[in-house]
A = this chain, B = another copy of it.
Amino acid sequence: MAVQPLGDRILVKPLDQEQKTKGGIILPDTAQEKPSKGKVVSVGKGKLLDDGKIKELEVKAGDTVLYGRYGGTEINYKGEDLLILRESEVLAIVK
């Protein structure tokens, strides 16, 4: 069983902001304008184009992403707090 985001949406598990990555990214949670960080759990089939084709998303399951702090919709799945957001709300992939 799984949550399959629709279209250009992705399912993200937010990461603990206090955690410091190996690369040293620190995202203090006092700053209002700072993005959040999360792990992509699953992604939608892609963005519907004007001609009816589906454009695959750039973000893939497993990616660590930065996204706007106030975007998305929270869900609780198997006891975990997850977030569904559109790929356009993702700022960057941390590689």
Interface residues of A in 1-30 (CB under 8 A from B): 1-7, 9, 11, 21-28
Whether B7 lies near A58 (C-beta < 8 A) is yes
Main secondary structure of the interface of A (DSSP, over half): loop
Interface residues in A53-95 by Cβ distance below 8 A to B read: 53, 55, 58-59, 65-66, 68, 73-79, 84, 87-88, 90-95
Say whether, besides A49-B51, A66-B84, A92-B9, A77 and B23 are in contact (CB < 8 Å): yes
Are B28 and A76 closer than 8 Å at their CB atoms? yes
- B34-A75 in contact (CB<8A): yes
Q: Measured between C-beta atoms, what is the minimum distance from A30 to chain B in Å?
A: 12
Residues from chain B with Cβ under 8 Å of A35 in the complex: 73, 75, 84
> Which single residue of chain B is at the shortest CB-CB distance from A25?
B77
Pairs A-B, 10 closest by C-beta atoms: A1-B23, A24-B78, A52-B55, A4-B93, A84-B91, A5-B92, A50-B50, A49-B52, A26-B76, A3-B92
